Amino acid sequence: MKFASFNRFELELPDDCVSECSHSGNCDDDVTRWANKIERPKNLTAAKLAAELKEYGAWSNKELKDDFSN
């Protein structure tokens, strides 16, 4: 297992997930497949996730409201 640490939460990710979602080229299909397999931490609310992503400045306010895509 690998851990991804952020300001507001931490994710525990299987090794296979990390390797399949971090290769060169398009990873969209891999990420979509794994997004449906990984259980969201109970303390990770939609608001916490949106606030975390907002700090990167790469998402519009409309995009930040799409909890599933985030």
Distances (CA, A) of 12 to 4, 5, 61: 7, 9, 27
Predicted structure pTM score: 0.76
Q: Which of 46, 22, 12 is nearest to 54 (CA)?
A: 46
Chain centre distance of CA 23? 16
pLDDT tens, 13-56?
A: 999 999 999 999 999 999 999 998 988 888 899 999 999 999 99
Listed by start position, the domains of the chain span 2-64
pLDDT of the residue at 68:
87
Distances (CA, A) of 54 to 30, 35, 37, 48: 24, 20, 25, 10
pLDDT of the residue at 36:
86
**Band of the pLDDT at 64, cuts 50, 70, 90?**
very high
